[in-house]
Amino acid sequence: MLELSKVTKAYAGSAVLRSVDLRVPTGQTTVIIGPSGCGKSTLLRLINGLILPDEGIVRCMGVTVGIATALALRRRIGYVIQDGGLFPHLSARRNITLMAGQLGWALARSEARVKQLAELTHFPTAALDRYPSQLSGGQRQRVALMRALMLDPEVLLLDEPLGALDPLVRYELQTELKALFDALDKTVVMVTHDLAEAGHFADEIVLMREGAIEQQGTMTALLEAPRTPYVERFVRAQRGLVDSFVKSPG
């Protein structure tokens, strides 16, 4: 489904990604984790065709991502960023339906899809005509998720989607998102800095360090069989959060 082969990306001569090889299986949730500046968000932008690699190849759904293919591919990819990235001058409904309108969807089809997504994300339909400034943080993220899912994409990319939320709202959305991912059976790539959150969502975790993949595998493998001293230190630094997550009933 998604594959990066020997991908390198640099800005102003400083390497952000260094010869990265990554395969993301179809229908699974892969979580990319690591400290700030390790290249997590850059990976998502490369998959989405928002930027192109300096070296190497990015393939998405069997298509090589490039100038000629990026636009068409993005219509098959849902993308959610931290705090939603909603257009402030558009209502929640208009934010959600913007691309469908550009593609000429009939109003009845668009409204039916919005209703379906509101039910899936537990978003109150009465709030669909409010503007982002009139919504809570959790509601804005639900709108961003509905916008990302509007065209029924095959791939869903989420870049720190819960990072700006308060702990209670974050916990509620973690639970809802996990159930949603399981129900939709889509290929999901999610970025977070929180190892416990990664364990909650991931079929597989990719731990990055300084633009390279340090270890890739299950949460159990990271906890019980760290491959490098860095992995061991990273896990130890978040061990309290991880232990709390492991002991929680959900």
Vertex 158 angle, CA 128 and 113, to 5°: 35
d(CA 99, CA 129): 17
Ordered strands of the 29-33 beta sheet: 77-80, 155-159, 187-192, 29-33, 204-209, 212-217
Residue 7's beta-bridge partner residues? 20
Q: Does residue 159 surpass a pLDDT of 90?
A: yes
Asked if 113 and 100 count as a contact pair (C-beta separation under 8 A), the reply is yes
Residue 63's beta-bridge partner residues? 60
What are the structure tokens assigned to 180, written together? 């949603």
pLDDT at residue 98, as a whole number: 95
SS3 14: strand
pLDDT at residue 249, as a whole number: 46
pTM tops 0.85 = yes
Q: Select the more confidently predicted residue: 168 or 141.
A: 141
**How many other β-carbons are positioned within 10 Å of the β-carbon of residue 132?**
20
From the number of C-beta atoms within 10 Å of its C-beta (0-12, 13-18, 19+), residue 110 rates as: middle
What are the structure tokens assigned to 160, written together? 């720190």
1-76+155-250 architecture in CATH?
3-Layer(aba) Sandwich (3.40)
Place of tokens 């065209």: 151
Domain edges within the chain: 1-76+155-250, 82-152
pLDDT digits (tens, 9 = 90+) for 3-50: 999 999 999 889 999 999 999 999 999 999 998 889 999 999 999 999
